[in-house]
Structures are given as C-alpha cells and as structure tokens.
Amino acid sequence: MTYEPNFCNIKLQDGPIAEVGVNGCQIDEVVKYCRDKITDFNQAPYSCRENSMAITKLDECLMWFQRRTENRTARGVEGTSKP
C-alpha cells in the first residue's frame, strides 16, 4: 500500500480551545471516528479477531485520553497551555 499524502486532510486543534477558540478537531475525535468505522466494518460477514483487537486498542486509547483530561482537570490546568 502506498501513502497518499493528499488523500485525507485533517485539521487538528492548534492550542487550547479556551485560549484560541476552536480551529480544528481533537485527536480523540479522530480516534473515535476510526473506531466507529472499524466497528462498522466488523459486522458479519466481515468480522474478524484483528478488527476486534483494533477496536479494543482504540477504546483503550480513548480511555487514556480521558484519564489525561481528568488528571489535568484535577490539577486545574485543563484547557490551558500549562503542562
């Protein structure tokens, strides 16, 4: 498979929304989209272990993003440029 650089363009958020406003999508939105597409593909008769494992790993990825958000919220830095 060859890489097609202009096949899909994704504009990711640049900077915290609270500081710069919405100017792109969040990475977790892209991951959710991919998970949903693979879930659609994983319906019979096309379901397979590999698709199921990919869905599981994308769910895990989203869980870690949520954990990061909860941690940043607890520290009072969510929505800012502070580490």
Query: 41: alpha, beta or left, given left = phi > 0 and alpha = psi -120 to 50?
Result: alpha
Q: At what angle do helices 49-74 and 27-41 cross, to 10 degrees?
A: 160
pTM of the prediction?
Answer: 0.81
> Where in the chain are the domains?
25-72
* DSSP three-state, residue 9: coil
Residue 14's pLDDT band (cuts 50, 70, 90): very high
The pLDDT score that the predictor gives to residue 79 is: 86
Other CB atoms within 10 A of residue 25 CB? 13
What would the pLDDT profile of 25-55 be if each residue is shown by its tens digit?
999 999 999 999 999 999 989 899 999 999 9
- Rounded to whole angstroms, the Cα distance separating 82 from 64 reads 19
Main-chain dihedrals φ then ψ at residue 73, nearest 5 degrees: -65, -45
Which residue(s) pair with 12 in the sheet? 25
What would the pLDDT profile of 66-75 be if each residue is shown by its tens digit?
999 999 999 9
Q: Say if residue 21's pLDDT is above 70.
A: yes
